[in-house]
Amino acid sequence: MAFAEDSAPFDDLRTLIANCPAADEDARARALLRQDQIALSAGGLGRLGELAVWMAAWQGGDAPHINRPMVAVFASSHAIAAKGVSRYDSARARDMTDHVLGGTAAVNKIAAAAGSGLKVFELALEEPTPDITQSAAMAERECAGIMAYAMQVLEETPDVLCLGVVGAGSTTAAGAMALALYGGTPAFWAVAGSAVDDPDMLAAKAEIIAAAVDHHSGNLDDPMEVLRRLGGREMAGVAGAILAARHQNVPVILDGFASCAAAAVLHRIAPASIDHCLAGSVTPRDSHRAILDRLGKQPILDLGLGLGDGSGAALAINVLRAAITCHNDLGQKA
């Protein structure tokens, strides 16, 4: 994606958001008819039937499919991780990313079990984004450039895209984004990530979230400014991937609090812009459940996973496969 010379970088992205293609309503209607013909009692497949119809509407055609699933993991770090808000620092972020690159992380094993490819996007991991209590995380051109770079994940033509993040300080930045986008209290949005069982760390995290939003007050009415000022490179990457997937009619499965905060930016600009997204799973954190409620997303799975690295989304692939197989292959009513 190249930026027009005579426009600000975000202008091109706003145009993409405003012109998101709709689902294929003819395909949806045919899928609903197919559900009525399946030799089971009405509603017998429960949510599996709904998921199959959803897949058909976003992929188009008469037979939804998952042949080339892809997990994209966006890795970054934040200077605020050094302020007592996380059990992990930038060095640990490097270590976690290396585990994914080496194929030894949970997301690798779960993706492999789901027959999914996996790609890691390292986003200046060794250079943490600045302290968001004192300055913006990214300049507009950097934020827009990362969103454009992340769109490359669609070059491998996945038919389902799973999104997760790895990093240090990600959930604190995401908490600040959520506070700016939805209001509430810093303490509520702090309850995510590695600090959840440490009262002192939670207090420090809430303090950083409050200070960051206060520092940027007056500049947070625009959701894109919320992303660039309070977010991080990994959230910008997720937002770019969501947007690219929409323009190529690729269904998306979100994983974790930070990925959902990225989706929330697009949702606040144009609610329908994330209609092609599902929530793969929900972490055992009230803040994650709250942001999913605001996005109108019911998680496919609720297994207590707290990773956010794409593992929950990858686990949901086989649920979608089961839904599709029933939809496509069950016999018809006599």
Q: What are phi and psi of 251, to 5 degrees?
A: -65, 145
User: CB under 8 Å to 79, separation ≥6 — which residues?
Assistant: 128, 129, 130, 131, 132, 169
pLDDT for 189-242, tens place per residue? 998 766 567 788 889 999 999 999 999 999 999 999 999 999 999 999 999 999
Element (H, E) at 73: strand 69-77
Structure letter (DSSP) for residue 281: B
| pTM greater than 0.75 (yes/no) | yes
Minimal CA–CA distance to 170: which of 80, 294, 265? 80
Q: Which residues contact 330 (CB under 8 A, 6 or more apart)?
A: 38, 39, 40
Contact call for residues 194 and 307 (beta carbons, < 8 A): no
Of 229, 230, 252, 255, which Cα lies nearest the Cα of 240?
A: 252
Confidence of residue 106 (pLDDT cuts 50, 70, 90): very high
DSSP H or E stretch at residue 111: helix 106-113
Contact 176, 162 (CB under 8 A): no
Q: What share of the chain is helix, strand, coil (3-state, %, to 5)?
A: 55, 10, 35
CA nearest neighbour of 262 among 158, 186, 150: 150
Dihedral sign, CA of 284, 318, 310, 160?
negative
Which pLDDT belongs to residue 10?
94
Q: For the chain, how big is the Rg over CA atoms in Å? A: 19
For residue 177, what are its two tokens? 């984004």
Residues of the chain above pLDDT 70, percent: 96
Is pLDDT at 93 greater than 90 in this prediction?
no
Residue corresponding to tokens 């975000």 = 10
Query: Does 6 have pLDDT greater than 60?
Result: no
Give the CATH architecture of domain 69-319.
3-Layer(aba) Sandwich (3.40)
What is the per-residue pLDDT for 331?
A: 85
3-class state of residue 75 by DSSP: strand
Interval 116-157: pLDDT, tens: 999 999 999 999 999 999 999 999 999 999 999 999 999 999
pLDDT of residue 196: 67
**For the segment 279-306, what is each residue's pLDDT rounded down to a tens digit?**
999 988 899 999 999 999 999 999 998 8
**3-class DSSP state for residue 165?**
strand
CA distance 321 to 80: 40
What are 211's two structure tokens? Answer: 């200070």
Residues whose CB falls within 8 Å of the CB of residue 30, separated by 6 or more in sequence, listed in order: 56, 62
Share of the chain above pLDDT 90, in %: 80
Which runs of consecutive H residues, i.e. helices, occur in 162-222? 170-182, 186-190, 199-215
